[in-house]
Amino acid sequence: MNNVVQRIADNVAAVGQRIADAARRSGRSAAEVTLIAVTKYVGPTEVSALLEAGCRELGESRPQELWRKTEAIKKEGVHWHLIGHLQRNKVRRTLPSVTLIHSCDSLRLLAEIDRVAGEAGIRVPVLLESNISGDSEKHGFAPQEIEGILPEIGELHNVQLRGLMAMASLDGDFAVARQDFARLRELRDRLRENCPETISLAELSMGMSRDFEIAIEEGATMVRVGSALFEGVAR
């Protein structure tokens, strides 16, 4: 094994252990938490190393980069997640490559996904991104706006809503991150009480390298981890 492969395998194992520990601390099972390995900083060599290390759920934040990598890396059982902003004119090209879109941030985008998916005869799993921290530079629905649009989303038959996604405040400390994550969970729990039957809100995609353990303690079912997987790897 070369150094990069070994180093990435070690990092994946370490992150996996931290996920399991955080799950246990909060009385959950590690199997309830999916690691999305974020590949936006790296090229094909490092992605191959991730696959060798057993990662099967991969995340990209830019649609063009997602297209490029899914073209280059065709492997059975590998799933790609879009975790960054999607423009409507990129929907058509993105849908065939993607397992879950975490970053749906407008009704217009959801309507376009529904339309294109309908033409293709597929149903697309999505999460709603919520700007839980209120940072002005972030995408996402305001938390208080989501309840009002759920009935409309329930009518989009080619879109399958599975949950919510958020990022913690950019400039907050760990206490602020915990508050942000708890707020997303509480929002989800509230929305569930009154949600159209066709909609599931089981998934909470929250937590990155800096704060994924806190996110798990607050109920994350998916953590999106990039830099921690590439520590010690020149890139």
Ligand X SMILES: *Cc1c(COP(=O)(O)O)cnc(C)c1O
Residues that bind ligand X in the complex, under the rule CB under 6 A: 38, 40, 61, 83-84, 167, 208-210, 224-228
Q: How far is the CB of 210 from ligand X (least distance, A)?
A: 6
Collect all residues with Cβ–Cβ distance below 8 Å to 9 and sequence separation of at least 6.
1, 49, 52, 53
- For ligand X, the nearest residue by Cβ is 226
> Hey, CA dihedral for 58, 62, 65, 71, is it positive or negative?
positive
Residue 180 or residue 195: which is nearer to ligand X going by CB? 180
Q: How far is the CB of 61 from ligand X (least distance, A)?
A: 4
Q: Rounded to whole angstroms, how far apart are CA atoms 102 and 113?
A: 13
Q: How far is the CB of 208 from ligand X (least distance, A)?
A: 4
175: which 2 tokens? 């206490």
Pick from 90, 152, 83: which is nearest to 116 by CA?
90
Q: How far is the CB of 154 from ligand X (least distance, A)?
A: 26
Residue 4 or residue 166: which is nearer to ligand X going by CB? 166
Integer CA distances (angstroms), 12 to 4, 182, 219, in order: 12, 26, 21
Residue 93 or residue 235: which is nearer to ligand X going by CB? 235
Q: Rounded to whole angstroms, how far apart are CA atoms 62 and 83?
A: 8
Residue 95 or residue 228: which is nearer to ligand X going by CB? 228
Q: How far is the CB of 30 from ligand X (least distance, A)?
A: 19
Residue with tokens 């849908």: 95
Residue 61 or residue 133: which is nearer to ligand X going by CB? 61
Q: Rounded to whole angstroms, how far apart are CA atoms 39 and 230?
A: 9
